[in-house]
Chain A
């Protein structure tokens, strides 16, 4: 069965650079979530989209933005990267109203 696809899987950036993470949800899933998991931490919700509209927002820095496109894939744009942004970034998808989220393999971002 098709799963959530995230790219790239690994990304190394310098401080103050920008990064773009991509997420391709499971086919026919209309809702996408982004989570951040720092080293030794629990996943933290960043933002979600339903039918290309932002549906909820968590502790996402103003330096980050995201959107969902007409094909339902989503991109998380991160600017002015800081050392503290180094983390695993997970994307999850679901059908609206579903209680089950399916997570992708994550993108490991390292900021040097």
Chain B
């Protein structure tokens, strides 16, 4: 599975847009990019997934350049409740086993 690199921490203020970039230089052709969010002492929660270009849902947007060696999770107008650890995961899905390999996530701290 491709190794990912993302910032250990980021700070933001309420109402700002936050962009968290993840590097995955060794991404394979059939790999997808998935982001999970984890609040303290809670299980991770799926946020968004993409393969290329741009994906948007009600929570976030995911931007993936043409070479797919990096991706950016964009959180619009963050609030205090968005303070959490965000994990970028890369892997191929569709088989009988889709274990998630978590690297070091990004701790986003949103301040008032």
Contact = CB atoms under 8 A, between A and B. Distances in A.
B46 A100 contact: yes
Interface in A1-44: 4, 31, 33, 35, 42-44
Interface in A47-73: 48, 50, 55-56, 58
Contacts of B94: 97, 99
Interface residues of A, number: 29
- Would you call the interface of chain B mostly helix, strand, loop, or mixed? loop
Interface of A: 4, 31, 33, 35, 42-45, 48, 50, 55-56, 58, 88, 90, 92, 94, 96-106, 108
A102 B93 CA distance: 15
Given A42-B104, A43-B38, A108-B41, 5 more contacts: A33-B100, A44-B102, A50-B96, A94-B98, A101-B98
Q: Is the interface of A mostly helix, strand, loop or mixed?
A: strand
B98 A106 contact: no
Most buried by B among A45, A48, A103: A103
Interface in B43-85: 43-46, 49
